[in-house]
Structure 1
Amino acid sequence: RFLGAVAMLALASLGAAGVGQIVNPAGRNVLRDVVEPPIELADYPSPLAGYRGWLKNYSDETLMTVSGMPADARLGLATMDYHNGEVYTVGGADNESAAGSFARVGDVIGVQQSGEEATVSVNIEGYSGIWLPSTGFAQSIEFEGDRQQALQTSLAYNGATGSAIVLNGLQAGDAYELHAIVPQNPDVDDLKQATISDVAVPKPAAIPDEIQAWASEHGTNGSTTMENITAMQIQLQKGAFSHGLENETTSLAGHSSFRMDSMFKVDSLVGDDEQYAVAFAFALQYIGVPARVVMGMYPDEGFESGSVELTGDDMHAWVEIPIEGFGWVPFDATPPEDQTQIEPDPVPKPEPKPQVLQPPQPIEEPVELTPEVQPEGGTMDDEEEGFDWLPIVMTVLIVLLSILLLLSPFIIIGLMKLSRRKKRRQAEDPSARLAGGWHEIVDQAVDLGLEVPRGVTRTRVAAHVSERYPQSRASDIGQYVDAGVFGPQSPPEDEVETFWSDVDRSVEAMRHEASFWDRLKSRLSVRSFMRNRSARRRTR
């Protein structure tokens, strides 16, 4: 049968291989070879999460050299429109925004947009990452240098936000020329009469409660939405500026919901672009204004003609709001960098009043206190708090449960063997109790690792056990059991009880002759149960 099965499998394999060569075409057409999967930016960390790193590690280091930028333009890196509770990120495919939709493009993009044309040259030095610094809406991006082909083929662009990424990543020595159209920003007078565009933006996972309360107080009193936006912007700019670096006011990095909620729980706001931009975006979303956060670079004095070296200190974050007729317009809510602490509001001085001679107060009799109003000896603050026993009790319970879990195999198997022994010793028939005692000895030998032969007489089994464990007296006990089980009369009750004492001594002798590890393994061994089960099957 074995040779026949092997032959059948061999013939089936040869047949399948032959049929496969006939049926399969010469070439394979795989869908992934012709369909490019979408770019999922969720696989990359949010650039805003590393905002403080640029300021701390690259404060005086040149990240890139830029020329040709309009004076009041900004060099954007990433446009983020969704806060997931931890970071502001680019909305993915599951969100209702197009900010996360990037498509592969060539060197010519040609996005339709009105504004000022600009040709910007960028030379990368200390900067690295997948986000390509750009401004406005790109018409073409042409790379230069040794990695020109690798960068050009991995370029992807988002026409809705004007953001670009290079999946192969920018590094020192890369250079490119950007032809873009930069929209004109409205002036202050235009914004006074501006109308907010109805643009779909993903809702944050959760707006912190403190910011909701703050926005209700400062962003709902104006007669127009634009007045509410301006009021909140001005109120945020009254806060203190700090990167949280050495010799600066303490200001933790990050912009999670917890971090932003903590920022508004104190009397004075403290933070930098990362916190103020996110707080402004939260407040705008709360009052129903679509907003997104942009991270990018620009010098504080604006771009000058010629080449401008941008360092880590030039990294910024701001908020963009859609305005009808102007598109997405940048708004800054960060206080000036030299506004490092909040001056308290001046306390008005009381106006002096003319001095008037007051009549003397009448002498009052001392007040007698009734027992009900006698002063107490101390206050609640003076009372010592009671010791909290809960952590200690919980720790002890966990330790005890862990120990119990580790000992559970020993306990369960031990109870099973104790139940089996009790059943054997309390059998109604004295002969059955004798046989049960013999099985107890054999089971102990099996659990200690002895291979006891099956299907042979009790005499041969006793000889096999005595050979391995001479002090067990297995041969003598086996002969006694044979005489009691197959004899003409049942053994007396007192002899059976004495016999079980011999069984206990025999079991203890075997354990004494066995090694420590064999004794330990016998506690967890279930070989005797398996052996008895097999014996019952053969009997049936």
Structure 2
Amino acid sequence: MMTSSDVRGVAPAMVVPLTCFVTVLLSLSSWGSFTSSRFPYLGPILVAGLLVVGTGISARLLRVHGSVVVLLQVLLGTIATGLLVVQHPFPVVGSGRARVVAEMTEAYAAFNPFDLPMSASEVAAYLVPSGVAAVLLADILAVTLRRPPMMGLVVLGVFTVPFTIIGAGGWGGVSWVVFALTATSFLVMLRLDRAQQLGRWGRRLDEDLPVVPAAGPAVIGVSAVAIALLAPAWLPSPSVTLPGLGAGDGDGPLRVINPTVGLYDDLRRQSDQVMVTVLPTNGDTETPPSYLRVGALTKFTGTEWTSGNRDVPSDQTGVATFEPPMSDETLLGEPTTYELRASDNFESTWLPVFTHPLDVTANGPWRYDEDTLDFMSTEGRDETIAGETWRVTAAPVEPTQERLLAAGEPGVGAPTGMTELPLLPDEIEEIALERTAGQDRPFTKAVALQNWFRHSGEFTYSLERDVGTDGAALVDFLTDNKVGYCQQYATAMAVLARQLDIPARVAFGFLGGDQNADGAWQFRGRDLHAWPELWFEDIGWIRFEPTPAAADTSEPDYTTGALGNVRAEPDAPVPSTDASAAPVPNRPQREEPDTTEVAETGTEESGAGAVWIGLGIAALIGAAALTAPALIRRRRRTARLAGDAEAGWAELGDTAIDLDLPWSGARSPREEATGLAPHLLDREPMYALQRIVAAVERNRYAEHGDAASVGDDVRLVSAALREHADRRTRRRARLWPASVFRRPTAAAAGPTARSERELISS
């Protein structure tokens, strides 16, 4: 049975902080659902987190004020995180700041929520500081502020990260085992904290009675965890299902996760890894296939293009035959049948097909959207196209300029919602109207926009500029910097087209491929591309190519000369480090980021500087640790001497402990005074001790407590006790007071020259 002595000391002080730390660490393991591995970020968090928690435990054992505890934790946590992430102990100024900027720049380029799993080592610069901050915040709430239930908010915040990145479907990638272990650890922490709080009240009056465990809180906690684990199976939500249950052939609609590919990161890497292999088997087997579309994004949120909500019934499976996209089949070219195979590393939940598909055969849990002709997995990330083989028959759309110019009003026959836009800056609409001034047909307006991006607008293709897609960034891209890559050009043209009431969407996939010795075409990571598609009456979706010619993209034949422009493409500069390298489709030579020089400069500057800074910080911490006990003891003495009888009694007890005199803190005031009497040589200190004892007894036992101060008497007795002690003991009591480190223990044995009766009567 727990008594008052059980909640004091080193071990009890470690229980709640360490359990809190384990709880947060378990929740942080959920971030492994969107990273390649857990150790690159969990390892540094474990090291820095232990330092933060250990600092808190040590400081609280020294009875340091809570605000000082937090400051120490922040300081040491920052130093540890800096050393682990950027190898610098103080990453705020000088070379440390330069390293942080360089590391964060690289991490930003690698942080791509739509290209999963992300490399844990590359994004660790984001995850490690966030994880250490979660550990620190949880420790502050659960231990420093003594509000353990509020620590659950930290755990909830940690769990929202994978849900935000992956989406709600399939638990956001969070394993139910991780969730259950985290919840269990959280309940254990609450139980231990409650036991400590009750233990501070002292010995239970019913200790000799049989113990009946309080099952209520445990039942509530376990029930809550069970409900959280099982409720999604019965909730009427199409976007949440228990992982691994069901074959994916239900009758309800399927809500898909945002499928935007990580174009920026993949193009910067210029990956030569083969993603899809295509072999033409029937029809036009001579023409190189291009524009292998993975999917279409139909909704612009103001910050990004998404797939929107799709209604995909169970009867729309991966075996489908489609009607031509227009009423006049003469607009279609010769159909070609392709055998496609995805590499084992291409873990896409969307099935690439050529536009426009007429027949698709794909075995597995695949469904299609009739409006967009996109194919997607019903099992989310549990079922991808990696290693899969499928067949597609498709025919290119070959409309003439005359047919496109004759298209009626924009939006006629288009799917609903294809011109919707959120509230955007007025400048975007003004740009759309200005760049299409004098054009009265939807097609000529579209060509005018394409020509502006490719010819007259002085836009530049570059992979070294990520300008974003929100309203302000879009205005900046269209007016000032005019530097970007395919995704930004596709986004900009689609938004401008919608401003003109022309239905538009953004398609993404592969631009072109290389033919191997077997005659098959291989699409690689460097071939990833994005382009806009616009809708025209009786024709359907038509591809445009606003990305400048520097990316070696070519505008469609049906747009050439529509407004008098010639086919000759300008020689825009291509970012390259090798002037002799031959350009390939959408494969500009990658420039090395300007971070190497920063890192090298930082290394030279910080070689000796970091060592001296680290030694200086260590010296400051050591000096603070050496002087802290004396400062804490002085502050307590000042406050107690100005307080009531109980405060003065506590001060007298700490003085006795500092001087290594008998004092237990558990005996009556008269018994404690008996232990101190032999160390008082004069009568005045003896009388002062009697007055202190009497005041404490009146304060504790009288009907009306005595709030009088005994500060002067405590000073007199304390001075007499110090005078009686030897010089070494006095010096130790002044510089390293023992009362700061331990509470009163059992009464120390010592000589007692007079009995309590003699003390009181003298």
TM norm structure 1: 0.57
> Which of 359, 372, 376 is the matching residue for 1:161?
372
For 2:736, the equivalent position in structure 1 comes to 516
For 1:190, the equivalent position in structure 2 comes to 403
Residue 675 of structure 2 is aligned to residue 464 of structure 1: yes
> What CA deviation, in whole Å up to 9, does each residue of 1:238-261 have, x standing for no partner?
15676536xxxxx52464336544
RCO higher in 1 or 2 (8 Å CA, sep ≥ 6)?
1
Q: Amino acid of the residue matched to residue 422 of structure 1?
A: A
For 2:63, the equivalent position in structure 1 comes to none
The answer to whether the 8 A contact 2:263-2:529 is kept is no
> Which of 339, 364, 377 is the matching residue for 1:121?
339
> Which of 184, 197, 201 is the matching residue for 2:418?
201
> Which of 526, 535, 543 is the matching residue for 1:330?
543
For 1:386, the equivalent position in structure 2 comes to none
Q: Amino acid of the residue matched to residue 120 of structure 1?
A: Y
Change (3 A) 1:521 1:55: closer
> Which of 482, 501, 507 is the matching residue for 2:690?
482
d(CA) in 2 for partners of 1:516, 1:254: 59
* Deviation larger for 270-279 or 64-73: 64-73
Report the alpha carbon displacement of residue 185 of structure 1 after superposing the two structures with TM.
4.6
d(CA) in 1 for partners of 2:682, 2:571: 92
The answer to whether the 8 A contact 1:103-1:158 is kept is no
Larger fraction in strand: 1
- Output aligned runs, 1:113-512, within 5 Å: 113-114=324-325, 118-125=336-343, 128-130=346-348, 131-136=350-355, 141-142=360-361, 152-166=363-377, 167=381, 168-171=383-386, 174-179=388-393, 182=395, 184-194=397-407, 195-197=409-411, 199-201=416-418, 203=420, 207=424, 211-238=428-455, 239=457, 243-244=461-462, 251-253=464-466, 255-257=468-470, 260-266=474-480, 269-299=482-512, 307-311=520-524, 314-336=527-549, 337=552, 339-341=570-572, 418-424=638-644, 440-442=651-653, 444-445=655-656, 450-454=663-667, 456=668, 458=670, 460-465=671-676, 477-482=685-690, 499=713, 501-506=715-720, 512=731
> What CA deviation, in whole Å up to 9, does each residue of 1:401-449 have, x standing for no partner?
xx9xx9999999987864552245xxxxxxx8xx986664136557999
Report the alpha carbon displacement of residue 325 of structure 1 after superposing the two structures with TM.
1.6
> What CA deviation, in whole Å up to 9, does each residue of 1:296-319 have, x standing for no partner?
2344999xxx74444456543221
Report the alpha carbon displacement of residue 111 of structure 1 after superposing the two structures with TM.
4.4
The answer to whether the 8 A contact 2:356-2:397 is kept is no
SS in 1 for 2:263: helix
Report the alpha carbon displacement of residue 333 of structure 1 after superposing the two structures with TM.
1.9
Q: Amino acid of the residue matched to residue 299 of structure 2?
A: Y
Could you say what the CA RMSD is over the residues aligned between the two structures, in angstroms?
5.1
The answer to whether the 8 A contact 1:109-1:138 is kept is no
d(CA) in 1 for partners of 2:374, 2:744: 68
Q: Amino acid of the residue matched to residue 410 of structure 2?
A: I
> What CA deviation, in whole Å up to 9, does each residue of 1:478-528 have, x standing for no partner?
455438998xxxxxxxxx998554235257678755582634448xx899x
The answer to whether the 8 A contact 2:410-2:501 is kept is no
- Output aligned runs, 1:13-28, within 5 Å: none
Q: Amino acid of the residue matched to residue 440 of structure 2?
A: S
d(CA) in 1 for partners of 2:533, 2:659: 78
Report the alpha carbon displacement of residue 264 of structure 1 after superposing the two structures with TM.
2.6
For 1:22, the equivalent position in structure 2 comes to none
Q: Amino acid of the residue matched to residue 170 of structure 1?
A: I
Report the alpha carbon displacement of residue 457 of structure 1 after superposing the two structures with TM.
5.3
d(CA) in 2 for partners of 1:189, 1:120: 31
Name the count of aligned residue pairs. 394
Report the alpha carbon displacement of residue 177 of structure 1 after superposing the two structures with TM.
1.4
> Which of 75, 78, 81 is the matching residue for 2:292?
75
Report the alpha carbon displacement of residue 77 of structure 1 after superposing the two structures with TM.
0.9
d(CA) in 2 for partners of 1:513, 1:119: 91
SS in 2 for 1:153: coil
Larger fraction in helix: 2
SS in 1 for 2:296: strand
SS in 1 for 2:642: helix
Change (3 A) 1:212 1:505: farther
Change (3 A) 1:319 1:127: farther
d(CA) in 2 for partners of 1:8, 1:153: 52
Structure number with greater Rg is: 1
d(CA) in 2 for partners of 1:412, 1:45: 58
d(CA) in 2 for partners of 1:284, 1:482: 94
Q: Amino acid of the residue matched to residue 124 of structure 1?
A: A
The answer to whether the 8 A contact 1:142-1:176 is kept is yes
* Deviation larger for 503-512 or 319-328: 503-512
Report the alpha carbon displacement of residue 90 of structure 1 after superposing the two structures with TM.
1.8
d(CA) in 2 for partners of 1:461, 1:163: 85
d(CA) in 1 for partners of 2:347, 2:399: 32
Report the alpha carbon displacement of residue 165 of structure 1 after superposing the two structures with TM.
2.9
Change (3 A) 1:507 1:101: farther
Structure 2: gaps of 5 or more residues: 1-205, 220-232, 235-240, 553-568, 574-620, 695-709, 746-762
d(CA) in 2 for partners of 1:125, 1:436: 76
Q: Amino acid of the residue matched to residue 463 of structure 1?
A: T
Report the alpha carbon displacement of residue 279 of structure 1 after superposing the two structures with TM.
1.3
The answer to whether the 8 A contact 1:52-1:243 is kept is no
Residue 302 of structure 2 is aligned to residue 89 of structure 1: no
d(CA) in 1 for partners of 2:283, 2:634: 83
Q: Amino acid of the residue matched to residue 164 of structure 1?
A: F
Q: Amino acid of the residue matched to residue 352 of structure 2?
A: P
The answer to whether the 8 A contact 1:111-1:137 is kept is no
d(CA) in 1 for partners of 2:443, 2:538: 15
d(CA) in 1 for partners of 2:268, 2:433: 33
